[in-house]
A = this chain, B = another copy of it.
Amino acid sequence: MSKNEEGKNESLIVNKEITPREVDFSRWYLDVITAADLAEHAEAVRGCMIIKPNGYAIWENIQKLTDGMLKEIGVKNAYFPMLIPMSFLTKEKEHIEGFSPELAVVTHGGGEELAEPLVIRPTSETIIYDAFSRWIHSYRDLPFTINQWANVVRWEKRPRVFLRSTEFLWQEGHTAHRTAEEAEQYALMILNKIYKVIAEDWLAMPILVGKKSEKEKFAGAKSTFCFEALSQDGKSIQAGTSHDLADHFAKVFNVNFLDEKNETQTVFQTSWGISTRLIGSLIMVHSDDKGLILPPKIAPLQVIIVPVVNGNQDVDSAINNLVTALKEKNILYQVDNRDLRLGEKCYEWERKGVPLRIEIGPKDVAKGGAVLARRDTGEKEFYIATGSELSQQVATLLEKIQTSLFEKAKERRAAMDKIVDTWDDFKKAIEDGGYVYAHWCEDSDCEVAIKEETKANTRCLPLDAEEETGEHVCIHCGKKSKSNKRWVFAKSY
């Protein structure tokens, strides 16, 4: 192992078959996570997960990218206590109602029973806005924009690694603004300028961007905007949210400022977050029956170089030339010269989702090239090129893989999109999977009834949904379509 010593721990990977997606999608998902050695359920702590080095490296890449983009727009990182007094959460009525079933409660500290129980943050609006109330004084302090990288705990009865775990890692952004409009615009900007770029340009996941229904919005928000990705089995995954909190929290935490006329005003706020759940989405959108598939731009290891034989001087020298050239292009590579059969190595790197595998043997060197094997399509091709010329081919191919993964996911989703106008069509469409576009009365009771009958609910009202002309009625109850725009329904994770 030239680049680092990862190879040492390979004996840890159990060579277990991966259940095909067709047979059992849920089982397949867990098998891929095991095969790629990304994470495991923490058996000792129900609902929690252990993120292993291969999984954590993906999270580190998402963090680095997100953090850089947030700093570019002037957001600063800070850190607030993980323990929150129960009394803080109860201040905002909807907030405590929403989160109360999911709380982990600390009742003892330092050997004594606490006078007031503390809650492990399920999200930090309350403790952060208590600080905002001390920090914000004047209109000159606004907008006030803070981000926190942290762990949060939401008690989970049906845990699933990455997608739903009692403890997970995330970033939570919190801002304060002068006007309601500015707050709403900021919440939308985070979604469109930051999260959409991360999801589509880096994770190669085409996303649906929209507004949540009243029932599905964040507890305490005026509106919740979201982005959703479509899993290969036709279910939707909420991958991140951005909330327009209006002055709901500001009023109860007294986050006020003096305006130009020296009059006291209340701020308007936003909060927004993405989490380790993104890794779950990534797997469900791209991977296949052979194991993990990672888009090159987010892959901790982009290229694995496998000598067809070990200890051949010509092969080693060709690899050395290539490695020098890859380094210059900042391509993340590793050379696997462990004492294993070629087939074993290929099998392993396929399961682990390395986007590109380069095989170089004496015959390839003699012909002045190397074999490049794409993980996404399985295509293997001989390229006549060495050193920096070959590294250029590698760079081009990595870009192609990135684009191709995005296009493929887009096509898959488009093929599953359905526009329906009758309840029978709706039920069938939901059963077939994918996004189902339908008119809706926007009544929460109706949404509950739809869910009971079909296991699907509203994912969102797409931001780009167009108002239709003519009279339209709710797909379920037949009442008037509230906005005359089509909501998106689907089953979800």
- Does A79 contact B45, Cβ atoms closer than 8 Å? no
- B109 and A141 within 8 A (CB): no
Closest to A12 in B: B135
Interface size class of A (residues with CB under 8 A): 35 or more
How many Å from the CB of A257 to the closest CB on chain B? 10
Question: Is there contact, CB below 8 Å, between B106 and A48?
Answer: no
- A interface residue numbers (CB < 8 A to B): 4-5, 8-9, 11-12, 42, 44-45, 48-53, 56-57, 59-60, 74, 76-85, 88, 100-111, 117-118, 120, 127, 130-131, 135-138, 140-142, 144, 146, 150-151, 153, 155-157, 166-167, 169
Inter-chain CA distance A78–B53, complex, in Å, is 5
Assembly stoichiometry (copies): 2
For the complex, what is the distance from the CA of A48 to the CA of B121, rounded to whole Å?
Answer: 14
The secondary-structure label for the interface of chain A is: mixed
The answer to whether A102 touches B108, judged by C-beta atoms less than 8 angstroms apart, is no
- Give the contacting residue for A106; candidates B8, B120, B136; CB below 8 A: B120
Q: For the complex, what is the distance from the CA of A138 to the CA of B9, rounded to whole Å?
A: 9
Additional 20 contacts, C-beta under 8 A, given A5-B74, A56-B79, A151-B151: A8-B142, A9-B141, A9-B144, A42-B81, A44-B81, A44-B127, A44-B130, A45-B85, A49-B81, A50-B79, A50-B81, A50-B131, A59-B79, A60-B77, A82-B153, A102-B110, A104-B106, A104-B110, A107-B107, A111-B155
Q: Look across to chain B and name the residue whose beta carbon is closest to the beta carbon of A105.
A: B108
Q: What are 23 A-B contacts defined by CB distance under 8 Å? A: A8-B140, A8-B142, A11-B137, A12-B137, A42-B81, A44-B127, A44-B130, A48-B81, A48-B83, A49-B81, A50-B81, A50-B131, A51-B78, A51-B79, A56-B77, A83-B104, A101-B111, A102-B110, A105-B107, A106-B120, A110-B155, A111-B155, A150-B151
Do B50 and A80 have beta carbons less than 8 Å apart?
yes
A109 to chain B, nearest CB (A): 5
Tell me whether A109 and B105 are in contact (CB under 8 A).
yes
Beta-carbon contact of A82 and B5 below 8 Å: no
Given A77-B56, A104-B106, A110-B155, residue A84 in contact with residue B5 (CB < 8 A): no
- Residues of chain B within 8 A of A11, CB atoms compared: 137-138, 140-141
Alpha-carbon gap, A5 to B71, bound state (A): 11
Note all chain B residues with C-beta closer than 8 A to A166: 83, 109
